[in-house]
Structure 1
């Protein structure tokens, strides 16, 4: 029932919904009460978000001009004080040995919840293209999942999907700070997508989850500093006060997936200590961030992405430092994503499983409390490894990492060697084209050449290429990688894709627009901070001139 006061308050709101609300469920998601809360959050926090993004740009300029990331001197007291801890971890969040990640698509939400994983991280960000329909339907799907009523019928396959008796624990990941939401505007400007995802999810689910003895749990992506973490913690406090619920109703796991953030993990834990429960090695975005942050540093150019694994010194140190830092403060330390997907060929599948086993053994031996997989068929493999290693425990908070020794900035920034060849460039071109073309048509999680690709892996592909062009890298066969050579291979790989998908799919797709965008961002003098920002206009219906 909408009161007269609510009508008056709605008239005073500064947000305008421009996206369609032409069905009953959309109207429920965007109810007067929900919009009043979203309006309050946007009014209080949107301007600070813009200031934080400006600070990112300023900090990046220092790196572009020759500085290297390092631990902050002004926060040394926080790091040196070993007495403080984060708030105790709720029982529901203490056993996270295997988590599955995926998009907000209804059928995939059900499959992930039924996968046998301990946790399902449902992603409004890298695994989902942020079309209006996807974002609103995602809220509907998660509302129904929390209520236990979610189901889906595939009429074409005559197959019905519904929840099992013991589904995974649901954690939602909102969009990062950088992504806008064009379809809801505040004083004529797009609101932060992160605030929309956070606010609507909390509003529609906090009471349902409280009735089950649960709080509202989030994965927070792409933080770069303690100031950004403080912004999120202030949002959490504001929300808990707004709804008059206990401090700690909201619990967050922070993805450490940017190079600047790895030098501020203690600080992030400290400012979020009443709400944070864990950190996660978001390894794919972290590799992208390494390239992005150090893009002007010719002595730190990464080899082809397919040869950059967690065995590399800088990545293994990142994993070990995250474990040590989290455990010192009483927080869980989650491992990263295995992006492999099942293969029909038994021999290839054996190779896939061997790589997953190697990866998860490394993580469990490093002291991680759990890990991520991208496909339900890999849950049991990862679970077996962590079950064996944990030997009846629910986590490794007591893990002794003293054997590692000091982990310095030098180690975290260690350059690495690897392949730089034509085959790798061509594969990166195809992966980026396939992924971006799917993304601008609303699909954010795409199986390509045996891996589940999302925005993070596409970011690595295009960042690799930009940096190699920018520095004129010599490939292993002696060729200098130039913009003209890239364009030649781009056009050739576009023809390869045409053969692979067939003429009909190619003609009905948007591959040539995608190639034009990919050419622009790969050869531009200035590095595009995020692939998804220039792609967003294509997703929302704009078009750009294609290659000639």
Structure 2
């Protein structure tokens, strides 16, 4: 099956899209047809549930998991042969996350991200190809190039790493009173490298089937990273490890498994050599955890609990239900109703033994704080960060994520104090599959729904869209009302924060959510509904704050370019009668678009197509 590359890309990236990579992509490309079937099935299930006003349920125990020979009952009982957890994954107390490049950066500037990661002291670093990696221009390929150079210990990378080590020690000396890197060359070999491929719902922007649709971004990422780095990683004593995002069903997990098997066969590796963590960030996924684990055996090593994406999926899955109304985003912590039950199901799933008596790992969620701000603000935020890590450790997590290298040495001592490599096999009650289990995964609890909460949702959603369109798919953000207040820290946010904020705003408008508190200036009383008119007024006010913000908070060069487009996308998404499933679709569609009128045309085309056919426009309209 022939593939076609965007003009000039092969000449621009001969070191990334090598002949060997191209051959691997050709070998895996036939699997893309099944991926498209799965996405059509996903959309059909979503439409059917909305039409019937029917919640997600557990699978029939007698059913066979598509793509496997296993029944649902067998998977739930652990009647499958899972893989062994390799040595370099047994202790993953802290995993950092972030991309291996920066927007529109040359190699020297972009590869600094890899140096910070590998010198951070994190047990693992998930180099992100998805939610935290911008997709402007050729960032996805720059990401792969920088990793190949860094893992191959190219002289440019070593030169950069030496300088970065000095900067990191200078910061640590001021913050901790001691350096955090003793020998920078030795430190580079400490951290296990993991790669997050893009999800099944995304298309690659640079490769497509000749005369046909775009190639799956999942296939592009898996093949490119493996071919360029597998041999290097093996020589260094490390494995090939991926994070797999946005899986919704065991059938989708089985597709990923077929992709991993095909990749291993192409590379001449034994089945099960490649390992995979699965991000649990979709509601439907929580109804099929053991089935997903079984479908990915023997590649599967663990689950990760990602807070933001899961909230978004719950909101989206219950968009049809007028009684389902989320509260303010800051109240939906990991101890809140459906979040608490979701986390509990994950830890019970990984601690169910397979046929060989093996357990899996649970990696806790993201710590988004960065220790940058006033002394009071940093101290308070770091106390919350450590308390959050202590809670996850108590609950059974073998480690957690942090969004910035500075957080590694602040949070890692929680697990150092505990001392054990991991908590795999810790006893928890067996999973059950009754009505109360299903209800718990969408359990709402009383919490505020306020005007300040709406301002937070709106301000950060637009800021995130603007950052994405500028190439910063990972960005330090906070609501505009806190600009200039260093006691309120910026949080490292990625695509998920934009997704959830627009989902909740859509929910509040279209379900006429009652507000729990009033607002004298706006003339809002407790119990008043969140109306389109109120949303439009808040939009005008929050947008004015962003236009007036200093460049540190909202880049001045974006205020007449990408910021108006981000506003247009947010408005159209929230006003759309038929809820779009992904904010990222509208952002991807407008990458590189400079005129608001052109963006509005694309937005309208997307929403009308989705409304009338249920199809998402996901391909790069500027491929040619």
TM-score (norm 2): 0.81
Of the three residues 435, 460, 476, the one matched with 2:500 is 460
Cα distance per residue 1:308-354 (max 9 Å; x no partner): 10111211121121111112131101111011111321211121112
The residue that corresponds to 1:58 in the other structure is 44
Residue correspondence of structure 1 range 109-508 to structure 2 within 5 A:
109-149=114-154, 150-151=157-158, 164-188=187-211, 189-329=213-353, 330-389=359-418, 392-402=419-429, 408-449=437-478, 450-476=490-516, 477=518, 478=525, 479-501=528-550, 504-507=556-559
The residue that corresponds to 2:620 in the other structure is none
Instruction: Indicate if the aligned counterparts of 2:123 and 2:192 stay in contact, CA closer than 8 A.
Output: yes
Distance 1:494 1:469 in 2: 18
Once structures 1 and 2 are overlaid, which stretch shifts more, 368-377 or 71-80?
Answer: 71-80
Instruction: Indicate if the aligned counterparts of 1:173 and 1:219 stay in contact, CA closer than 8 A.
Output: yes
Distance 1:323 1:152 in 2: 42
Please state if 1:528 is matched with 2:528.
no
Distance 1:458 1:363 in 2: 25
Q: 1:165 to 1:103 in 2, by over 3 A?
A: closer
Specify the SS of the correspondent of 2:401: strand
CA displacement at 1:522 relative to structure 2: 1.0
Please state if 1:93 is matched with 2:89.
yes
CA displacement at 1:93 relative to structure 2: 0.9
Once structures 1 and 2 are overlaid, which stretch shifts more, 80-89 or 226-235?
Answer: 80-89
CA displacement at 1:50 relative to structure 2: 0.7
Distance 2:10 2:37 in 1: 35
CA displacement at 1:213 relative to structure 2: 2.5
Instruction: Indicate if the aligned counterparts of 2:283 and 2:310 stay in contact, CA closer than 8 A.
Output: yes
Distance 1:22 1:80 in 2: 46
The residue that corresponds to 2:612 in the other structure is none
Distance 2:559 2:348 in 1: 52
Number of positions where the alignment pairs a residue of Structure 1 with one of Structure 2: 530
Instruction: Indicate if the aligned counterparts of 1:295 and 1:301 stay in contact, CA closer than 8 A.
Output: no
Once structures 1 and 2 are overlaid, which stretch shifts more, 221-230 or 520-529?
Answer: 520-529
Instruction: Indicate if the aligned counterparts of 1:103 and 1:444 stay in contact, CA closer than 8 A.
Output: no
Cα distance per residue 1:416-474 (max 9 Å; x no partner): 22221111111211111111111112111000122111100111111110111110112
Distance 2:572 2:15 in 1: 41
Specify the SS of the correspondent of 1:280: strand
Once structures 1 and 2 are overlaid, which stretch shifts more, 296-305 or 460-469?
Answer: 296-305
Please state if 1:29 is matched with 2:29.
no
CA displacement at 1:70 relative to structure 2: 2.2
Distance 1:166 1:243 in 2: 24
Once structures 1 and 2 are overlaid, which stretch shifts more, 142-151 or 185-194?
Answer: 142-151
Instruction: Indicate if the aligned counterparts of 2:276 and 2:300 stay in contact, CA closer than 8 A.
Output: yes
Unaligned runs of 5+ in 2: 64-70, 102-110, 169-183, 354-358, 479-489, 519-524, 601-624
Instruction: Indicate if the aligned counterparts of 2:116 and 2:164 stay in contact, CA closer than 8 A.
Output: no
Distance 1:372 1:365 in 2: 16
CA displacement at 1:259 relative to structure 2: 0.2
Q: 1:93 to 1:482 in 2, by over 3 A?
A: same
TM-score (norm 1): 0.91
Distance 1:387 1:135 in 2: 35
Please state if 1:14 is matched with 2:2.
yes
Of the three residues 567, 591, 594, the one matched with 1:539 is 591
Specify the SS of the correspondent of 2:277: strand
The residue that corresponds to 2:611 in the other structure is none
Unaligned runs of 5+ in 1: 1-12
Distance 2:36 2:307 in 1: 26
Q: 1:159 to 1:383 in 2, by over 3 A?
A: closer
Instruction: Indicate if the aligned counterparts of 2:203 and 2:216 stay in contact, CA closer than 8 A.
Output: yes
The residue that corresponds to 2:176 in the other structure is none
Please state if 1:516 is matched with 2:568.
yes
The residue that corresponds to 1:77 in the other structure is 73
Distance 1:181 1:96 in 2: 30
CA displacement at 1:402 relative to structure 2: 3.3
Q: 1:318 to 1:157 in 2, by over 3 A?
A: closer
RMSD: 2.4
CA displacement at 1:256 relative to structure 2: 0.7
Instruction: Indicate if the aligned counterparts of 1:430 and 1:494 stay in contact, CA closer than 8 A.
Output: yes
